[in-house]
Structure 1
Amino acid sequence: MSLRLRADAVVLDIEGTTSATRFVVDVLYPYSRARFAALLTERAGEPEVARAVARVREVTGEPDADAVRVEKTLNAWLDEDRKETALKTLQGLVWREGFARGDLVPHFYDDVVPALRDWHAAGVRLYVYSSGSVAAQRAWFSSAPGGDLLPLLSGLYDTENAGPKQQPESYRRIASATGVAPGRLLFLSDRAGELDAARAAGWRTVGVRRPGEPYFARGAGDHAEAGTFDAITVVRSGG
């Protein structure tokens, strides 16, 4: 089944939507886990690291937590797959360096990059909204197999600059920042709760359902569905 939708901009989720969740869990999580200790001890004075550590201490209620204690907390959050901003920030720093060194190569489903190029060529603006930090998103898309995809993107949003992904206010905030009317924004995600929040903010929505992904069996609620990006045709509202 194919979908033809009018929108001026598409906002992309990453895990389960553009890319396989298993890659994040099986490759990226262990990579960051192995490098948290060095990050926390060798780069503690860097502002971004210091802010994230302060946030960990605030969330846990342990203002005097040392690097060892903070690392244990981060690893526990990893085990829980917790979408905590401080964790995502520190992961993003580690992954960015891993992508830059060539240790890591991000995963994209085969149908994603051609669709992104087609939509961009048609004048549709592209954005990313992921629980992964903006730093991680930038590293992810700049290191894509086949070339840097950042020039295709008009903006990156995470839980720090937009807010939690299952709250309508986060989507209102993104709409305001992009200057695109809510009814002309299309959100693609594999999670019904996120799609519900986007629709509550006036957005158009499509649930991306890929076999093998964690939320596949749960479905997309009453949202339109697509199994691949090439099943979605996006036409600008004025087109």
Structure 2
Amino acid sequence: MTSHYDVDAVVLDIEGTTSATGFVVDVLYPYSRSRFAALLTERSGDPEVARAVAQVRAEIGEPDADAARVEKALHTWLDEDRKATPLKTLQGVIWSEGFARGDLVSHFYDDVVPELRAWHSAGVRLYVYSSGSVAAQRAWFTNSPQGDLTSLLSGLYDTENAGPKQEAESYHRIASAAGIAPDRLLFLSDRPGELDAARAAGWHTVGIRRPGEPYFEQGVGDHAQAGTFDEITVSRSTT
């Protein structure tokens, strides 16, 4: 069933929504895991790396933790699939370089990119809100199988510049930063807790349910749902 939304912008989750979670878990996670040690030893002076390392030390309560201890914490968080900001930051650095080198190419479901192009052409702004860092998001959309898609996007949000994805305040923050009224925003995600938080902030929501994704069986609660992006019609009234 097609749902129609008259909004000014669509905000996109990535994993399970635009792209297969399996690709992230099976391709990107091992890629970062194998490169943490080199990053922590060779690039410890980089401001972004140093800041993330300080955050790891603070989180584990060990202000003097060495590179090996920091790496161990990162591996543990990866095993637990924790959305820890310093983990996402360091993964973003590694993935950005992997994409730039051509080691990595991102994944999008076949129905996604044509709809993003159509919505963009209709004057609807597109944003990303993912637990992956802004750097990782930029690399993801720059290095797609369909080429560089970043020209379609008006902004990128993560847990650092917006806040946790299951808290309504994060969605208030995004609406304010984008300068768009909450009731003119549509959020697409496969996670019920995120959809609940967006709705609590006054947004429109559609739960994306794709077979094989982690949240498919659980469903999206009482939110509108779609199996593919082409089941969603988005337009922007100019009156």
TM-score range, shorter chain: over 0.9
- Normalising by structure 1, we get a TM-score of 0.99
Report the Cα offset of residue 108 of structure 1: 0.3
Matched residue, 1:168: 168
Partners of 2:146 and 2:19 lie apart in 1 by: 15
1:154 pairs with 2:154: yes
Report the Cα offset of residue 146 of structure 1: 1.7
Matched residue, 2:232: 232
The residue matched to 2:138 in structure 1 has which SS? helix
The residue matched to 2:54 in structure 1 has which SS? helix
Q: Is the 8 A contact 1:133 1:159 kept in 2?
A: yes
1:52-67 alignment runs, 5 A limit: 52-67=52-67
Gap runs ≥5 in structure 2:
none
> How many percent identity over aligned positions?
79
Change in CA separation of 1:4 and 1:150 when aligned onto 2, cut-off 3 Å: same
Matched residue, 1:182: 182
Matched residue, 2:98: 98
1:145-200 CA distance string (max 9 Å, x none): 12100000000000000000000000000000000100000000000000000000
Partners of 1:32 and 1:216 lie apart in 2 by: 26
Aligned pair count? 239
Report the Cα offset of residue 54 of structure 1: 0.1
- Normalising by structure 2, we get a TM-score of 0.99
The residue matched to 2:14 in structure 1 has which SS? coil
1:195-206 alignment runs, 5 A limit: 195-206=195-206
Runs of 4+ in 1 over 6 A off after TM superposition: none
Partners of 2:111 and 2:127 lie apart in 1 by: 17
1:133 pairs with 2:133: yes
Report the Cα offset of residue 238 of structure 1: 3.1
Matched residue, 1:8: 8
Q: Is the 8 A contact 1:184 1:237 kept in 2?
A: no
Partners of 1:214 and 1:70 lie apart in 2 by: 29
Gap runs ≥5 in structure 1:
none
Report the Cα offset of residue 201 of structure 1: 0.2
Q: Is the 8 A contact 1:141 1:149 kept in 2?
A: yes
Moved more, 40-49 or 144-153: 144-153
Partners of 1:159 and 1:237 lie apart in 2 by: 31
Matched residue, 1:142: 142
Matched residue, 1:78: 78
Partners of 1:155 and 1:117 lie apart in 2 by: 16
